[in-house]
Amino acid sequence: MDFSKNFEKTVQTFIKEFLSSHSHLSDEKVVHEIDDTKIAQLQKMGIPQKGRPLDLVVREMTEDIYAYGHNSAHPRYMGFIPGPASPLSWFGDIMTNAYNRHAGSWANYPGEYCVEQELIQWLCQQAGFPNTAGGTFVSGGSMANLTAVTVARDKMLPEELWPQGVAYVSEQTHSSVAKGLRIIGISNHRIRKIPTDGQFRMDIDQLRKAIKEDRAKGLAPFLVIASAGTTNTGSIDPFAEIHAICKQHNLWMHVDGAFGASMLLSHEYKKELQGIELADSLSWDAHKWLFQTYGCGIILMKDRTNMVNSFHVHPEYLKDLEDENNFVNPWDTSIELTRPARGVKLWFTLQVMGSDAISDAITHGIQCAKWAEAEIQKNSLIEIVSPAQMAVINFRYNPSHLSEAQKNELNKKISQKIIDSGFAGVFTTELEGKKVLRMCTIHPDTTREDILNTIQLLNRYYEELIRNEEYNPKSPNNHCLDTKPEFHAAKAM
């Protein structure tokens, strides 16, 4: 395939420009909106019958395709769970894709297999799992949770009881868990949403009650999903108490740690996850708080043979690649047959950075949320709905003269204004029926100044909105200030 005589030069130019833009990321807007004209242009491009020059197509991709949307790698993007990928992971991804090894079996990628399995065992050790533990790399938390609930069903329920199987989640459990349960045949009416306590953790008494009621109905409880860092609040469920209940009732205990399990690598805060070693399985996303490019999820099992029991097959066309060295092929431990060597870029990142640097970066994210909380507490009009924990904080502007509906609308508008400004990404979520502003501060390059300026800008938008007649009927002629300052004006605060 003759792409271009200048292929090498084009690639070198792209890499140079990409790294330059990455180093100046904080000077860019957090969100670049795409307009209708550009959308129409992209939709009409079509597929050419004859190829076009490589450098032209690369330029179109960088300027017309990748340039738009939410930049979750930005230091001031604090919405959802950001994806602050390290350049090292990006480089590891380039190498993995360049060699393009089929990473389903030992025979296809023996070297990569060795380092992936070494890394899996090291991660198991960080979680406190025994020598029987193992795991594999998957595309993300959704696939990790699907893998875990499949193994739990196969281990804990005979097939004839699958229609009676019941699983227990909390009100704050990530939606991917329920999706995975439905895929394996556990319908919504057999997924119990357990209420949470004042700290947004699974209510243990309610869990006990629900299990007892389901047993009395002749159903078959088999699985409890705890969370190590919920998406909304960063809350950590009480692992020891949940494990005791699981042991009493012979249930599988899975921990969804897609976001928060990375705190296991923080020297200072690892203790916050005490009890996670009691889990039967653990999901963990390296493309969240371990700073990897997307597509790097992990599923760990206390007993790796349970994975093989669920996923090992013997098709005739794979006989030549059966285990000859007592190695377990990755295609026998997960849903995927064909898979890339997802874990190699994480291994590469850790080799270059060292685990201490990763620990410092995770600890910094937690400190950023504490800086935010300290600044928020200076404003008596702000209610902290969920305090800083695991780099997440939730709060809302709470003027006493407004109704709850007005407060919800006010906070929604404040979020939209700061997003529109391009300065920071602060989105909303709902807790206890309240629309709240949520900041997730896991980016290692986020500075204290970034945090303080973001809070101050939120305060400014509150002041502008509250003077509007919609929220201040006593002053109908009061006009707002300019509510869409230029990005660089906001940055200069």
Output the pLDDT for position 474.
59
Output the pLDDT for position 38.
93
**Residue whose C-alpha is closest to residue 286's, from 349, 375, 334, 364:** 349
Mean pLDDT of all residues belonging to the chain: 92
Backbone angles phi, psi at 86, to 5 degrees: -75, 145
pLDDT band with cut points at 50, 70 and 90 for residue 325: low
For every residue of 181-240, DSSP letters joined together read HHHTT--GGGEEEE-B-TTS-B-HHHHHHHHHHHHHTT-EEEEEEEEBS-TTT--B--HH
Output the pLDDT for position 318.
58
**pLDDT digit string, tens, across residues 214-245:** 999 999 999 999 999 999 999 999 999 999 99
Grouping H, G, I as helix, E, B as strand and the rest as coil, residue 439 is strand
User: Which residue in this structure is represented by tokens 């640097």?
Assistant: 357
**pLDDT digit string, tens, across residues 425-481:** 999 999 999 999 999 999 999 999 999 999 999 999 999 999 886 777 554 443 333
pLDDT band with cut points at 50, 70 and 90 for residue 26: confident
Output the pLDDT for position 471.
74
User: To the nearest 5 percent, what fractions of the chain are helix, strand and coil?
Assistant: 50, 15, 35
Q: Per-residue pLDDT for 251 more than 80?
A: yes
Q: What is the mean pLDDT of residues 262-284?
A: 98
Cα–Cα distance for residue pair 477/468, rounded to 1 Å: 8
Output the pLDDT for position 489.
43
Output the pLDDT for position 289.
97
**Residue whose C-alpha is closest to residue 396's, from 431, 365, 423:** 431
Q: Per-residue pLDDT for 317 more than 60?
A: no
Q: What is the mean pLDDT of residues 8-19?
A: 89
User: Which residue in this structure is represented by tokens 């391009």?
Assistant: 422
Q: What percentage of the chain carries pLDDT values higher than 70?
A: 92
Backbone angles phi, psi at 290, to 5 degrees: -110, 10
pLDDT band with cut points at 50, 70 and 90 for residue 372: very high
- Contacts for 326 with CB less than 8 Å, ≥ 6 apart: none
Output the pLDDT for position 492.
44
Cα–Cα distance for residue pair 32/73, rounded to 1 Å: 13
Q: Which two tokens stand for residue 89?
A: 């992971």
| Cα distances (Å, whole numbers) of residue 20 to 11, 14, 24, 89, 373 | 14, 10, 7, 16, 33
Q: What percentage of the chain carries pLDDT values higher than 90?
A: 83
Q: Which two tokens stand for residue 282?
A: 């653990």
**pLDDT digit string, tens, across residues 50-86:** 999 999 999 999 999 999 999 999 999 999 898 899 9
Output the pLDDT for position 486.
43
Q: What is the mean pLDDT of residues 105-129?
A: 96
